[in-house]
Amino acid sequence: MENTGTIRLGDENFEFPIIEGTEGEKALDTRTLRSKSGCITFDEGYGNTGSCLSKITFIDGEKGILRHRGYPIEQLAENSTFLEASFLAIYGELPSEAELTKFRTEVQTHASIHTGMHHHFEGFPSDAHPMAILSAMLNSLGAYYPEMSSNDREQDLAHFDETAALLISKVRTIAAMTYRQKQGLPYVFPDHNRRYAENFLHMMFSEPYNLYSDTSGAAAALDLFLLLHADHEQNCSTSTVRMVASGGANLFASVSAGVCALWGPSHGGANMAVIKMLEDIHASGDDGSRFIQDAKEGKAKLMGFGHRVYKNYDPRAKILGISSEAVLEGLGIDDPLLDIAKHLEKAALEDEYFVQRKLYPNVDFYSGILLKAIGIPVEMFTVMFAIGRMPGWIANWKEIAENPKSRIHRPRQIYTGSTIRDYVQMDER
Ligand code: SDX
């Protein structure tokens, strides 16, 4: 294939270079299209548009491939931990033992929240959505670390390593404190002797008279859940983080915006919607067959199914399906929702409507069953997704911040409103 492409507009040809990625993906570099032709491209939803060059994550949606810095997600799930995978996503290499110990110590050091922020929680109504609280608290966090949230790019980068560890640590603490505040329970301070996921479960569920004890492997399952959510190239929330970062905003503001983007039911909110869908099906006495029919008739959406990029099985869903079954078995829980989920999956994978549209289970399909088995309340599910995605958001912010040629993201549009007209006085309207 030539390394240029031609666009013909009317009777004129315009030639553009072709960019090729390390995995053979090709893009027509149309950065000079408007200056050369006066024309722009139109790609609502950006399904055919690359917004950046990135080295962090590679997805082949047709083949169901997901790799972080070249490492297949299946190998990371098998051999790594959330913190190790976070280091890989952010810094580009698996850490040495000394590097991982240093990173883990930095994360442990930053586990607590400034007591001034405790009052912020009290300002929210008890039924405030945890994602609203998380986004607000992450942005507020920057106010306590002005040296890391200066919006002076050089200064913010000089503090990057500490800011990254601090956010990975405190997003977990903020989530646990949100839960405790909404339950009317006293906050549980972090226990530096516990690893990342277990410390979160400790801060969520320990009581003075009964400290959390991980007897069922829940911490390992949660660590795997978080690892599987670590990054996913230019999804809606990560692209939002890059959009905000492109204007020069600090990391706190950028990830706070990422939380808002993740909240929607088409994106990270889907894991909550999956559980609600399964509970509704269970309550109706349906085994899922009626629901499948409704989805085919456009009356319902099979939440946790379908993906803009994966036109094959989401590899994370496969791993989460196995892990959720193992956790339920370890806890001795016989959850009817798992049976319904497996029935839905089987029925959909055999049904022409889903096969023709290449709709497969995505990361959200089984994750809710796993989180529910661990004891996480449904309204916190998307917060758990945000905790997992934090390293990916940080890694993408770093790529923007470290690129001296990075430009502010400012898409064009096609105007379809009223053409010019004169002002109409009130008595003539
Ligand atoms: C995540 O981008 C990422 O990487 C995201 C993510 C990450 O890690 O960051 O992977 C996490 O967000 C996973 C997706 C979670 N969302 C859901 O599970 C919600 C349910 N899924 C759909 O809303 C939908 O599949 C999307 C939003 C995920 C993808 O939407 P697209 O690519 O815009 O596809 P589409 O809506 O244009 O659908 C194409 C066709 C349509 O039918 P027709 O118009 O051709 O007749 O497929 C149908 C849709 O109606 N369809 C579904 C369906 N998803 C698409 N029909 C029933 N159930 C579904 N879930």
- Give residue limits of the domains in the chain: 4-50, 69-268+379-402, 270-374
Which residue, 196, 223, 228, 214, is CA-closest to 330? 214
Q: Using CA positions, which residue lies closest to atom 22 of ligand 1? A: 306
- Phi and psi based region of residue 302 (left: phi greater than 0; alpha: psi -120 to 50; beta: remaining): beta
CATH code reported for the domain at 69-268+379-402: 1.10.580.10
Tell me if residue 4 falls in helix, strand or coil: strand
295 lines ligand 1 (CB under 6 A): yes
What's the pTM value of the predicted model, to 2 decimals?
0.96
392 lines ligand 1 (CB under 6 A): no
357 lines ligand 1 (CB under 6 A): yes
- Phi and psi based region of residue 285 (left: phi greater than 0; alpha: psi -120 to 50; beta: remaining): left
pLDDT for residue 331 = 85
Which residue, 114, 66, 110, is CA-closest to 392? 66
Tell me if residue 295 falls in helix, strand or coil: helix
Q: Which residues pair with 349 in a beta bridge?
A: none
Who contacts 22 (Cβ-Cβ below 8 Å, separation ≥6)?
Answer: none
Looking at 114-152, list the stretches that DSSP marks H as alpha helix, in order from N- to C-terminal side: 115-122, 130-144
Pairing of strands 57-60, 65-68: antiparallel
Best residue for ligand 1 mutational test, from 227, 362, 393 (most atoms within 8 Å of Cβ): 362
Which ligand 1 atom is the nearest neighbour of the CA of 365? 18
What span, in angstroms and rounded, lies between the C-alpha atoms of 266 and 153? Answer: 33
235 lines ligand 1 (CB under 6 A): yes
Q: Using CA positions, which residue lies closest to atom 39 of ligand 1? A: 357
Helix axes 160-183, 130-144, angle to 10 degrees: 140
Distance 310 CA to ligand 1 centre (A): 10
Tell me if residue 352 falls in helix, strand or coil: helix
CATH class, 270-374 region: mainly alpha
Amino acid making up residue 407: R
- pLDDT (tens, 9 = 90+) of the chain, 429 residues, equals 569 999 999 999 999 999 999 999 999 999 999 999 999 999 999 999 999 999 999 999 999 999 999 999 999 999 999 999 999 999 999 999 999 999 999 999 999 999 999 999 999 999 999 999 999 999 999 999 999 999 999 999 999 999 999 999 999 999 999 999 999 999 999 999 999 999 999 999 999 899 999 988 899 999 999 999 999 999 999 999 999 999 999 999 999 999 999 999 999 999 999 999 999 999 999 889 999 999 999 999 999 999 999 999 999 999 999 999 998 898 888 999 999 999 999 999 999 999 999 999 999 999 999 999 999 999 999 999 999 999 999 999 999 999 999 999 999 999 999 999 999 999 999
390 lines ligand 1 (CB under 6 A): no
Which ligand 1 atom is the nearest neighbour of the CA of 314? 10
Q: Using CA positions, which residue lies closest to atom 51 of ligand 1? A: 306
CATH class, 4-50 region: mainly beta
Pairing of strands 57-60, 71-72: unpaired
Distance 263 CA to ligand 1 centre (A): 15
Amino acid making up residue 240: T
Q: Using CA positions, which residue lies closest to atom 43 of ligand 1? A: 357
Rounding to the nearest 10 degrees, give the CA dihedral for residues 249, 255, 259, 260.
0
pLDDT for residue 215 = 82
Distance 71 CA to ligand 1 centre (A): 26
Q: Using CA positions, which residue lies closest to atom 52 of ligand 1? A: 301
Give the active site residues: 307, 364
pLDDT for residue 1 = 58
Q: Which residues pair with 20 in a beta bridge?
A: 26
